[in-house]
Amino acid sequence: MTVSSAPGKVYLFGEHAVVYGEPAVPCAIERRATVSVEPREDDRIRVEARDLSLDGFTVEYSGATDGHPDVNVPTPLVEAAMGYIDAAVEQALDAADSREVGFDITVESDIPLGAGLGSSAAVVVAGIDAATRALGVDLDAEEIADRAYRAEYEVQDGQASRADTFCSAMGGAVRVEGDDCRTLDAPNLPFVVGFDGGAGDTGALVAGVRELKERYEFAADTVETIGDIVREGERLLADADPADAPDDELLAELGNLMDFNHGLLEALGVSSRSLDNMVWGARMAGADGAKLTGAGGGGCIVALDPTPETETGLRFTPGCEDVFRAELATEGVRVEAERAVDFRGEREDA
């Protein structure tokens, strides 16, 4: 069995605007999705997902990725999860130049599904890495990021950006602007994440922003302004020493930009009452700044606070179901256990 993991992420700045070619700065966090893969001799795929829904699920189907399984779980999130797993398998088979192999796949994750923390990107990145390694193909992180982006692009009907998948594959803080992706030297920022227990509909939220942008010139200007916020935030990070803890001045300036960013996202209609409650709960508790992270509509907010006050405040904020501190994940996709298999079914521990 080959096992790989990849981290989730929070957006420091730039979600939604990144879809339109503006820059974004996501940061990988130490919440991981782990994918275990074992090739099998037939072309059937068996998926056990222990953490992608409240009860988990197990499905088995044939024909490699030619069709989706009939999943007897009444949630579109599970259907979406299967779409991402299928797309990851398709990319792995393409990388290995193979079509005559199936997989037993187990997915475990401590990233809330659909909550804006990059769960789908982490599953796709880890899945591609594990499956290609299991077939004897070793891809570098940048190729995994590219293939993971193609998988998400397919599942999201062309509305994906490279931000989530590049961040998950590379780790740390990254900057993404269109096809230009690169890592950033950034200090370990004191992230606090609040979770309302829900999830937004990414496709509908992205479509809503697109409609506003096409209808109103000021909405298009709003998207561009988010890009300006990202550039200013990137300048602040570039001036900081990544080896040192961020000082009060840096946190205050980054926090101000996060507050601006949230206000603009709220104006674009992608926030929600629970997200706004958590943002204001964090600010009132003394956070340097707070904003939603991800597509919005529900899910998570991210705040900056080196003290325990924001965690405490969010625990007493109506609508906040969970709160945790998130360390920067300096390592992206990684192999946890590896056993190669050739196409004759012979195995060799790596």
Residues contacting residue 77 through CB under 8 Å, at least 6 positions apart: 52, 53, 113, 114, 199
Q: What is the DSSP letter of 19?
A: G
| Contact of 120 with 152, CB cutoff 8 Å | yes
**What span, in angstroms and rounded, lies between the C-alpha atoms of 178 and 211?**
20
**What span, in angstroms and rounded, lies between the C-alpha atoms of 215 and 218?**
9
Task: Report pLDDT for 44.
Answer: 83
Residues of the chain with pLDDT under 70: 51-81, 339-350
Instruction: Transcribe 198-257 into DSSP letters.
Output: ----HHHHHHHHHHHHHH-HHHHHHHHHHHHHHHHHHHHHHHS-TTSPPPHHHHHHHHHH
Q: What is the pLDDT of residues 154-208, one digit of tens each?
A: 887 777 789 999 999 999 999 999 899 999 999 999 999 999 998 888 888 999 9
Residues contacting residue 235 through CB under 8 Å, at least 6 positions apart: none
Catalytic pick among 129, 146, 164, 196: 164
Radius of gyration of the chain (CA): 20
Going by DSSP bridges, is the β-strand pair 180-184/173-177 parallel, antiparallel, or unpaired? antiparallel
**What span, in angstroms and rounded, lies between the C-alpha atoms of 233 and 229?**
6
The two structure tokens encoding residue 73: 């779980």
Instruction: Tell the burial category of 220 from Cβ atoms under 10 Å away from its Cβ (0-12, 13-18, 19+).
Output: middle
Asked if the 2-184 domain carries CATH number 3.30.230.10, the reply is yes
The fold of the 191-326 domain, in CATH, is Alpha-Beta Plaits (3.30.70)
For tokens 């300036």, the residue is 253
Domain with CATH 3.30.230.10 in the chain: 2-184
Task: Report pLDDT for 345.
Answer: 42
Q: What is the pLDDT of residues 42-88, one digit of tens each?
A: 888 888 877 655 455 566 655 444 444 444 444 455 566 678 888 99
Residues contacting residue 248 through CB under 8 Å, at least 6 positions apart: none
pTM of the model: 0.87
Nearest to 261 by CA among 271, 274, 251: 271
Instruction: Tell the burial category of 104 from Cβ atoms under 10 Å away from its Cβ (0-12, 13-18, 19+).
Output: middle
| Contact of 166 with 149, CB cutoff 8 Å | yes
241 catalytic? Reply is: no
Task: Report pLDDT for 48.
Answer: 84
Residues contacting residue 297 through CB under 8 Å, at least 6 positions apart: 199, 200, 201, 204, 205, 270, 271, 272
Domain with CATH 3.30.70.890 in the chain: 191-326
Residues contacting residue 213 through CB under 8 Å, at least 6 positions apart: 20, 219, 220, 223
> What are 137-142's contacts with CB under 8 Å, separation 24+?
137/92, 137/95, 137/96, 139/95, 141/169, 141/170, 141/332, 141/333, 142/169, 142/170
**What span, in angstroms and rounded, lies between the C-alpha atoms of 279 and 261?**
12
Instruction: Tell the burial category of 137 from Cβ atoms under 10 Å away from its Cβ (0-12, 13-18, 19+).
Output: middle
Task: Report pLDDT for 128.
Answer: 96
Task: Report pLDDT for 167.
Answer: 97
| Contact of 3 with 36, CB cutoff 8 Å | yes
| Contact of 133 with 78, CB cutoff 8 Å | no
